[in-house]
Structure 1
Amino acid sequence: MIIPDDDDAPPGEVVALTLTAEDAGGRLDKTLAERLPDLSRARIQALMAQGLVSRGGVVLTDTSAKAQAGDYELLIPPPEAAEPQAEAIPLTVLYEDTHLIVVDKPPGMAVHPAPGTPNGTLVNALLAHCGASLSGIGGVARPGIVHRIDKETSGIVVVAKTDAAHQGLSALFAAHDIDRVYVALVRGAPSPARGTITTQIGRSSSDRKKMAVLKSGGREAVTHYAVTAIYGPQKKPLAAKLECRLETGRTHQIRVHMAAKGSPCLGDPVYGSGPPAPAVREAMAKAGLTRQALHAAVLGFVHPVTGETLRFESAPPPDMATLEALLSAL
């Protein structure tokens, strides 16, 4: 089963090294282990078996192959997360039945444990709220999770409590048969005021923790957007409010697409690409915005078990609501 790729967890550490002609000739796994003392020969063999070792972009899986001169890259996955523990964290529950639960996630809460965020996550809270009813298909560290939003993005998330719901929701997301609308406050305003952004998105070649629009490779990403309010001069807006409807769900998709249009989300620490106007910065400070101004406002889908049409709406939390009011006064 493939979970839609909208997670913000880094892919792991990339280790690069160059083997010279003097290094060539011996077994590849042994040679790499000699050059990388932090990795055992057995560890390198395991990485090769997983397709995580490459030379010049070509994946290498034969551990007994002879080492050749060239540039090698090893992707070291993050350590496996320990089984998460239940934590009595308050939740805003929008809907719950025996099959699934829909919650309004606050900013600052990660969806599931990951390196650097071992607890305090939505999963930890759900384990306390739902107990053993969470679906295990998502794995030990991600029980019931069928989609994800960034830690600092607020808004609606649906989680499966049974295997049947998990499979049904996963199929809906894979078929893009989910209504997902985000509200974003951005720098300036994209032109035209309404449109569809279709690109390939993948890991940035310069920073593996960032995503980027790629000319080739990556995965197709489609965002439909519309400007719903302009702040400041109409001819040269200082900021704008957008509704973004996701057709696909790639990592950081809206943030990457808005940045590519020259209107990154306000407060985005990764894709901000330059400060907003002084008046907008002042409004952000007064509102207490310390994150990207992005909120998952609408989630609609057909219940995978009962067939009921469900639609949920969530108003932006205080930081975004206050910022919007301050921007309206510009």
Structure 2
Amino acid sequence: MSVTATPEAHGALELDPQRLPADELKRLLAQMITVRHLDTSAIAWQRQGIIPGYAPMQGQEAAQVGSIAALDMSRDFVFPTYREMGAAYAAGVDMAEYMATHKATWNGGLHDPVKHRFTPIQTVIAGSALHAVGWAHGQRLDAIREGREQTDLPASLIYLGDGASSQGDIHEAMNFAGVFKTPTVFFVQNNGWAISVPTERQVAGGSVAARGAGYGLPSVAVDGNDVEAVVRAVRAAVAHARSGAGAVVVEAFTYRRGPHSTSDDPGRYRTLEDERRDAGPDPIERLVERLVADGELTEAGVEEFRAEAAAFEERTREAVAAQGPRPGAEMFEYVYQETTPVLQQQAAQWREESDHA
């Protein structure tokens, strides 16, 4: 499997050839280094018993940080899975609040999804695709109802993996988006593996982007280890979606360098030699080498980014470790907008048993 795909657009989509400014690339690099440090540390936290479980994302830093950089986080909305820690950090989500799901403190994370334009973590495979398309369709309906032109709509971005692309929800979401031209970007992180199953054994044709044509959606295949290529591809996709022209499929070819989760042993289905051969260039080292070679960054500057990342990780670890259990009564308070007699009965029974205990 190759993860170094040349950016290629299909359908009515044109990529901006303009290179990103060095200052923006350095900002993205700092984010990627922080994300890598935090991701590696989260695995250690699980081993230490600070959190019960975690889904690593090493190797996907450029795909996640780059895709968020292409959005307007004051108006767009992000719909993540359980492996988007890097996207959450780049979107400004508090990392301790994000980690509440992995701490088993609060399902979906304690962050405010409306404030951060970043929905709660979704663990149902492909389930949030329907939410992303529904939200985007709502933006169209609002514009129609208010008599506004549908030429500058807020966009939704849904993260999914190559494995999730085989779920029926993706077909329904892409078909609906194609029919109603919703301002949605389907951002596929093809990391080579659906848990233990390689892409070529579960994605017919080997490409998710190619499926866009079947729904009338333009698509882009991009090197997901190149943060600049990701930013350019997603910016083009978002511009297309905003204009009222409809949804776009972006497939970022990258590689999951670690286990599927902290309960997974990747050694059971691939070797270290397989990983070295298939993973492609490390997205962080690749950008460091470019910026240093261009004279835009020194090794001392890289070390400064790493020191800041280490300090941030320590603050986050302390905040996560300090999280205590939530009040048990909350399990009855956030089920429905208006409570039901059955739920009230269950809450009363729970209080009686808890008080007795």
Name whichever structure is richer in helix by fraction: 2
TM-score (norm 1): 0.25
Higher relative contact order (CA 8 A, sep 6+): 2
TM-score (norm 2): 0.24
Q: Which has the larger radius of gyration?
A: 1
Name whichever structure is richer in strand by fraction: 1
